[in-house]
Structure 1
Amino acid sequence: MSIKGRFFLDLVERTLFTYVEVVLGLMIASATTSAIDLSVAKAAAIAGIPAALAVVKGALSSMLGTPGTAAALPSGAEPRA
């Protein structure tokens, strides 16, 4: 797979997961408290903002981290214990 293809798939995966996480988080928060009253449509619309930010973050990370991916860490970077 080409570097551009890998980057695109990586970015799509991160964006979709961010979107789903935010929608589910908003629905759970809305169901557990009366302070937040969101319909599913509103939650889905609101979740678009963090998903769009995930795209921006992935694009910036590709310039700073591993080339060809949306990862912010350089290739082979190990987390410190």
Structure 2
Amino acid sequence: MSELNLPAADTVVKTATTYGRDLAERTLATAVVAAGGVAVAAGPADMFNASFWETMAAAGIAAAGSLIKGMLARAFGTKNSASLAKGV
């Protein structure tokens, strides 16, 4: 029977940590940008009449979409990246 060539435990932890940081950063950035975009659109431009909680809900929905996309990227792409782009 041939031996399994598994990575060391510290390598696995580093990879998971890298992925977790990448995914958290992308999710939080999406929430901040979405909230800012809705706030700008609802405020000075007066295109919408969104309340604070509607703005936060829109940002949360965008962040949840980013989170799901990042999790799918790990399943179908590079294991230590939340990006679907090759080499990221």
TM value normalised by structure 2: 0.76
Larger radius of gyration: 2
The code of the aligned residue for 2:35 comes to V
The code of the aligned residue for 1:15 comes to T
Gaps of 5+ in 2: 1-12
**Count, aligned residues:** 76
Deviates more, 1:9-18 or 1:38-47: 38-47
Residue equivalent to 1:15: 27
Query: How far 1:48 moved relative to its partner?
Result: 0.6
Query: How far 1:29 moved relative to its partner?
Result: 0.4
Q: Cα RMSD over matched residues? A: 1.6
Residue equivalent to 2:7: none
Contact 1:65/1:75, CA 8 A, preserved across alignment: no
- Separation of aligned partners in 1, 2:76 and 2:16: 16
Which of residues 43, 56, 77 in structure 1 aligns to 2:55? 43
- Separation of aligned partners in 1, 2:50 and 2:34: 13
The code of the aligned residue for 1:51 comes to A
Give percent identity, aligned residues only.
30
- Separation of aligned partners in 2, 1:71 and 1:13: 12
The alignment status of 1:59 with 2:71, answered yes or no, reads yes
Gaps of 5+ in 1: 77-81
TM value normalised by structure 1: 0.82
